[in-house]
Structure 1
Amino acid sequence: MLIRTFIRYYKYIVFILLMPMTIQAEEIEYIPSNSSKSIVKNIDRLFKQKPQKISILLTPKIKGKSRYSFSIRKDAYYLSKKYADASDLFYLSEQIDSGLKFQSNKSKNIDIIISENNSNLILNQSILSNINLGLFLKNKDKISFGVNLNKDVIISKNALGNFGVEQAKDEYMVFNAKFVKLSNNENSEFYGNVNHEFKSDHLNVGIGNTWFDIADQFDLTLGIQEQSKKVGSELYATFGDEDIKFQVGLNQIKNNSNMNMFFNLKFENVLNKENFGTNVTITSKNSVFSLGRLSLKSFRRKNLDKLWKKHINYN
């Protein structure tokens, strides 16, 4: 039922994603949280350069996007610095939800996916804040090489979409669309993927929901998808942190009594480079369709304390 409903509104979703959208940039004192320079030194510099400022806005940037900002008052900052206690400053700073926004992005990214019957190597270069151009090498039924172009689209303050095309040599062009929306309480997210090969009846559709921090131990995902006209479902748990994730679960194809166990092992930012992301995924699944879905887990208010502890210190 969910698959049929999603397919029914598939054209409307594509239309929404293709609509031109203008993101107005707000003039703020912006300090990227992934800067190689000390954020504390940047804050000191801004207050010294503009002594009339009573506060600044610190906006953590995650993969070229931002959502929440910290409004840091000068008096609270110098008081916490005097006692070398950054944790107090976290609670003294106002947390502002500005909604999802694009920030300057000059990053390169390599994604390596390894499975028994389907391996991918994808290289992307950001050419604008929300547009990526890249190359890919895939080995499924045969080795194919091609180019891809995709664009991120902000749908609402807590919803993100991505659409793009990929063209392999001697093959039809493939259209990809993805979206994700955080729940209002930020405890879960709903996502969807579409993959369609032009001039063919090849259409893959998947939707699902992820609940975060179950018992403060793991995330739980329930999904349903249709691939090659076969409907299947999957249920899996995700353990780990932002750098290493281990996923284990079960999937089943409709009208097939066999239920299969699978695992995914994900390593993110392996080289630990600021503007060069290297992600490696090892999976026991034959299909990699659902592995590239979008997520907004890192853009929740609950994630701010982790970013703060990682980047704000007086040492």
Structure 2
Amino acid sequence: MNGWELEKPNEDILFGKKKRIKEYAQQNPLAGTDKKGDVLLIIRKYHPSLNCSPDDPLYRSDTYRMCLAYYDAMSYSYFELPSGLHYTGVEARIDKNTGKAIITIHADGISRTTNVTELYQKLSNTTPMDEDAKMAAFISLDNTVNTVKRAAIEVTEVQSEILGTLLQDEQFDDWWISAPTAIPYLDGQALIFTYTDFNPAEDKAFITEADETIRNFLSLTAIDRLAASAHVYKNCMEFLDAIGYNEEEDALWKIKDPQQIWRQVRYNQCYVSREPYEDQQVYLRLSCECNWEQEHGLQLVFNKQGKLVRVSAEDGDILGYEGDGMIS
């Protein structure tokens, strides 16, 4: 197994179809899940510059990066590992104090325990590192980041002035789900709004800020969506340029009017959450499927004022690293 056999494991986690993930982890010694199957880890080889297998028939490469892939219901990330080690396994468990995954990587008699926050800080795939630096970073992993104990969640519903009652998700206790709500930005199509990573006992200001964010988003119309066409069209064209011409995407290559790009987009739902790393403001993410990036989809990110601030693949981030997808 090369670690690339599964398609869209995030969706399996999100919709509770975890049997396939657990079976895969049992079959692949370099894959692991937590007991519930909320997190999937895979150690695998990546193309030297693209987010794909070096065995991809369209983008073959004789060189590769060894990486750890991390999937949960809302995000997909991968972190560079030293290529000189022989990896023998990876494990995941959920820390009951923080609600986050604790990750243990085994290689050549070495075991290192860490978490996603520490991996972002030390082994991010966006930071160029030579093998010596990767090895030093790997050896230093010790799970000392992000160990604050989480307050208990003792309610099963929260109230929004805009959306009414949001019920606690059955899988994730810090997710809260609304009834479908009509969205003028999408010509009246109704979508569910989900608060994610929200603990009412820890973030007293969240609901007020979320209401402001949702109110301003719902004030937008289809005219505002069409005004954003150039940004979505740009995302499509940049993706096509990166992968090169493929006959299957010929219809996409022929699009010349940016407003026609919306015909290639399908809307899933809206996620509202607080950005955890940079400005820690509340944002709304409109989650979409699109005909060009079928694996990672498309997201439109709106700030509290209702301004579109980012158009990108659904990469697990609200604000793009080093400006990726951000709109100035």
**Superposition TM-score, scaled by structure 1 size:** 0.28
Higher relative contact order (CA 8 A, sep 6+): 1
The structure with more helix, counted as a fraction of residues? 2
The structure with more strand, counted as a fraction of residues? 1
Largest Rg, 1 or 2? 1
**Superposition TM-score, scaled by structure 2 size:** 0.27
